[in-house]
Amino acid sequence: MKIKKASEVKRVCYHCGENAVDDLYHIEEKNFCCRGCQTVYEIINKSDLCSYYDLEQNPGINQKQEIRKGKFDFLDDTQIIKKLTHFQDDTHQHVIFYLPQMHCASCIWILEHLNKINSGIIKSQVNFIKKEVTIIYNFHETSLKKVAEALTLIGYEPHISLNDVSTGKVKKYDTTAIVKLGIAGFCFGNIMMLSFPEYFSLAKSDDIGLNTWFSYLNLFLALPVFFYSASEFFISGYKGLRQKFLNIDAPIALAVLITFGRSLYEILSGTGAGYLDSMSGIVFFMLIGRYFQNRTYQSISFDRDFTSYFPLGVSVVNEDGTEKQISVADLKVGNRIKIHNDEIIPADSILFLGKATIDYSFVTGESLPVEKSIGEIAYAGGKQTSGAIELEVVKEVSQSYLTQLWNNEAFKENKEEVKVSFIHRVSRYFTYVLFSIAAIAAIYWSINDPSKVWGAVTAVLIVACPCALLLSATFTNGNMIRILNKYKLYVKNASVIEYMSEIDTVVFDKTGTITEQGKSEISFQGIELSEAQSQLIRSLANQSNHPLSKSIVSFLPFSKRLNIKNYKEFKGFGTSATINEHFIKMGSSDFVLGKDSDQLVSGSRVYVSVDEEFIGYFIVKNAYRNGLEKIVSSLHTQFDLKILSGDNSSEENYLKTIFGNKTEMLFEQKPEDKLNFIKHLQNNHKKVLMIGDGLNDAGALKQSNVGIAISDDTNNFSPACDAVLSGKNFTLLKELVNYCRKQKTIIFSSFVLSILYNFAGLFFAVQGDLKPVIAAILMPISSISIVLLTTGLSSFYELKLKKLNPDKSQF
């Protein structure tokens, strides 16, 4: 039957853009969906910040979830303030807050005008990529608690987790790479400039002194490049040789060493000007490539643990009934804690008071919340969804089930290096060929003209070092990472791209991965509901905090408030009430009809009767991601697909219509089960891509060849993984994987181009007649050509992605 949905109501909230169903909240002609949004507007208007609404339409964050008083009392703790403070002097303190709600230009604007809301705030600066705001405030005029409350009042509640204080000191930004690059670039440019007379034979016989002076200046400029900027190549090459492994840095380090050594000999002996320009150029371009490749990793955290998910503070109930906020780390066995709606349970506890409906989806994968009775244990990591409850801690945070699960050795295992990167394999063969050419040249000239042996051998090693291969790899990887970022796939490092190109099996988690978190699909089977019946059912459902009841409330349109009497809720069965003189029952088949349903159905059924007359049932199913059928169909042609879920098998039949009967599906899987299944596939020589979203997927994500965490706007935490993919771009999964497969094609294409330049250089090198000007011309031309080719090819292969991209906003 067709029912008009609440989403069809035209009136929207002026602040957040959601449906303003009730006509209770409005100021002049501006409608609001709740008192919270109206209050935020009043604060913004009072602070003369209404330009916030001019930059974007309905830019605010929904405020239906009221912020309880005293939530940030733990920020008055001196020790916690000390750990969260990045800098402090006699007047000012600097803090950085993570704000997952940040999403548009209006967010940036209002967050950088916090001083108008709290006069104690001196300055606030936004890092939009990291969704962080740096706040400088005068702690004599305001406090950290008041700063957090000010942010929360306007809809940007800071995410403060146990991880923020457990790591100790603030992580400093490492500037070493930039300093090395800057020194190499400065020296390279000046050495090239001082070498121009040598290039064009401008040094006259009567200018020998000036020429010698230029050569010594070049040597002086080359020293920091050789001993500092190039140090990472020597260190990496040495470590590889100690492990009896020839990586690509070893031959590059050899080329730098030979070039510097020969140049040093020629300058000190007065027999030539050397090749210091080529040496500094090699180092400079290699460092550019590495910096370009690595700079994209800094904005995403890939190695998170459960402490990033846990809150920092918790309410402890004292013997006299008063509440006090303390750090989660200070919880002790026997403490009575109060957990409010939508808060995380930080330690294994026994329910002491209240009604507990706990969502474990992020920890176990179970999609429906679990109801707990007084005296039952509630495990750490669950989220309370039905008001405030009181619990008694039975295990400290460090001893809880979730902590023990995370500390299990299986979850700590590092991925085995299944293979050596093809870059290192190619460079090894390249090195063998290079040494062979040098040996042949040495043998030839030792027979024909021994005076040319030294010049020929060193020239071969200088002109044909595998720097082109490394340059190809770093610029290709850097550009591909940049393009993947554009499509909201954030990879941990360049190796992930290579591993992604070799997968043959894709394993999906269900809850939150192929389904949309917090959304459901609802339909009603039965008589056609009148408007009056819809309101009776909606009014009853609105009394319950159960997720199925909430789904029904969102599905049925609001018309008017009805008088409710004798409301009763029967745990695990359903609810009943008398509404406008009609007796309404809603719940399981056994509760409403007095018998169990023998029909198999995907999803959950909620049966309804009015005045003891059965009128039909709602079917509530997980809402699967848009385009799932299409993406599964396209993946089936290329990969073996599997489903691993911690949820029950109620929707297995529906999933088979999408994935097919041959797809292996395992349900009610514990985290250890998922990890062991991935190991089983790998033992059968499968290259596995695991896609998940919760803590229960952490072990499997880590064990798989590539682990991708799906992240939606509603979820500000993702487990340890190799890559993070935005849920909005889930439909691009196959194209993103195939794009990664182009990595080797691009690298080999640019490497072939560089070999052509090497042939030209080797023609002169084997004759022992390599002039500095020839080396100076070939090296930059080769490097620039590689950069242009890798950039062009990676952008060319991006065209298919650009056509299919569902989110055009980033272009």
Q: What is the pLDDT of residues 87-97, one digit of tens each?
A: 888 888 999 88
> At a CB cut-off of 8 Å and minimum separation 6, what does 120 contact?
137, 138, 139, 141, 142, 143, 146, 147
pLDDT per position as a tens digit, 16-61: 777 776 666 778 778 888 777 877 888 787 877 777 777 777 777 7
Token pair, residue 463, equals: 């002109």
pLDDT digits (tens, 9 = 90+) for 514-557: 888 767 788 898 998 888 899 899 889 888 877 788 888 888 88
The two structure tokens encoding residue 699: 């072990």
295 pLDDT band, cuts 50/70/90, is low
3-state secondary structure 248-315: CHHHHHHHHHHHHHHHHHHHHHCCCCCCHHHHHHHHHHHHHHHHHHHHHHCCCCCCCCHHHCCECEEE
CB 259 within 8 A of CB 765: no
Residue 706 forms beta bridges with which residues?
689
Entry pTM: 0.67
411-429 burial, b if ≥16 CB within 10 A, otherwise e?
beeeeeeeeebbbbebbbe
Cα dihedral angle (371, 374, 377, 379), rounded to 10 degrees?
50
The full DSSP string for 20-36 is --SSS-EETTEE-SSHH
**Strand order from edge to edge, sheet including 349-353:** 323-327, 313-317, 336-339, 389-393, 349-353, 377-378
Q: What distance in Å separates the CA atoms of residue 501 and residue 413, rounded to the nearest whole number? A: 23
Query: Amino acid identity of 268?
Result: L
Residue 676: is its pLDDT beyond 80?
yes
Q: Which pLDDT does position 717 carry in this prediction?
A: 52
The alpha helices in 85-162, defined as continuous H runs, are: 105-111, 144-153
Q: Is 309 exposed, middle or buried (0-12, 13-18, 19+ CB in 10 A)?
A: buried
> 285: pLDDT confidence band, cut at 50, 70 and 90?
confident
Spatial contact of 734 and 803, defined as CB atoms under 8 Å apart = no
CA distance 538 to 263: 85
Burial class of residue 136 in the structure, from the number of CB atoms within 10 Å of its CB (0-12 exposed, 13-18 middle, 19+ buried):
middle
Pair 81, 89: CB distance under 8 Å: no
Contacts of range 573-580, beta carbons closer than 8 Å, 24 or more positions apart:
574/606, 574/607, 575/540, 575/541, 575/543, 575/544, 575/549, 576/540, 577/539, 577/540, 577/543, 579/536, 579/539, 579/540, 580/536
pLDDT at 8: 42
Phi, psi of 204 (to 5 degrees): -80, 165
What percent of the chain shows pLDDT beyond 70?
81
Report pLDDT digits (tens) over 624-639.
Answer: 888 888 889 989 888 9
**First-residue to last-residue Cα distance in the chain:** 41
Question: What are 54's two structure tokens?
Answer: 């001019």
Pair of tokens at residue 192: 């090239």
Task: Express each pLDDT in 602-611 by its tens digit.
Answer: 678 899 999 9
pLDDT of residue 518: 66
Q: Please check the confidence at residue 153 and state whether its pLDDT lies above 60.
A: yes
Structure tokens at 708: 């991708």
The Cα 678–Cα 537 span in angstroms is: 45
| 641 pLDDT tier (thresholds 50, 70, 90) | very high
Residue 35 amino acid letter = R
Give the residue-averaged pLDDT of 383-410. 72
Report which of 548, 555, 542 is spatially closest to residue 3, judged by C-alpha positions.
555
Q: What is the mean pLDDT of residues 321-346?
A: 83
pLDDT tens digit sequence for 135-148: 999 999 999 988 98
- The tens digit of pLDDT for each residue in 404-453 reads 655 555 455 555 444 556 676 777 777 777 778 878 888 888 888 887 77
> What tens digit of pLDDT does each residue of 469-514 get?
677 778 788 888 888 888 888 888 788 888 888 899 999 988 778 8
Strand order in the sheet with 574-579: 515-526, 613-624, 604-610, 582-587, 574-579, 564-570
- Locate 94 and state its tokens: 């600097």
- Find residue 378's DSSP bridge partners: 349
Strand, helix or coil at 317?
strand
Can you give the pLDDT at residue 169?
Answer: 46
Length of the chain: 811
442-462 residues labelled b (16+ CB within 10 A) or e (exposed): bebbeeeeeebbebbbbbbbb
Task: Evaluate if residue 166 carries a pLDDT over 60.
Answer: no
Count the alpha carbons within 13 Å of 622 in the hemisphere toward its beta carbon: 25
Q: Are strands 582-587 and 574-579 parallel, antiparallel or unpaired?
A: antiparallel
Q: What is d(CA 349, CA 399) in angstroms, rounded to the nearest whole number? A: 12
pLDDT band at residue 759 using 50, 70 and 90 as cut-offs: confident
What is the DSSP-derived secondary structure letter of residue 387?
Answer: S
CA gap 593, 450 in Å, rounded: 103
pLDDT at 363: 65
Residues 6+ apart with CB under 8 A from 96: 86, 132, 133, 134, 135
**Mean pLDDT on 762-780:** 69
- Classify residue 773 by burial, with Cβ atoms within 10 Å: 0-12, 13-18, 19+: middle
CB 263 within 8 A of CB 279: yes
To the nearest whole number, what is the mean pLDDT of the chain?
79
